Homo-oligomer: A and B are copies of this chain.
Amino acid sequence: MAYTVPAIEELVQALRQLPGVGPRSARRMAYALLERKRPAMGELAAALRRADETVSHCQRCNNLSDAPICGLCQSSRRDPRLLCVVETPADVAAIEATGTYDGFYFVLMGHLSPLDGIGPEALGIDRFEALLDQGFEEVILATNPTVEGEATAHFLADLVRMHGLRASRIAHGVPVGGELEYVDRGTLSSALSGRRAIED
Contacts and interface: CB of A to CB of B under 8 A. Distances in A.
B10 A50 contact: yes
Interface string A4-22: 1111101101110111100
A44 B34 contact: no
A89 B31 contact: yes
A187 to B, nearest CB: 15
B55 A89 contact: no
B28 A181 contact: yes
B34 A51 contact: yes
Contacts of A10: 47, 50-51
Interface size classification for chain A: 35 or more
Interface in A90-143: 90, 92-93, 96-97, 99, 109
B4 A96 contact: yes
A195 interface: no
Copies held by the complex: 2
Contact of A89 (B24, B34, B38, B71): B34
Nearest to A56: B34
A29 interface: yes
B49 A42 contact: yes
A41 interface: yes
Interface of A: 2-8, 10-11, 13-15, 17-20, 24-25, 27-35, 37-38, 40-52, 54-55, 64-66, 70-72, 75, 88-90, 92-93, 96-97, 99, 109, 181-182
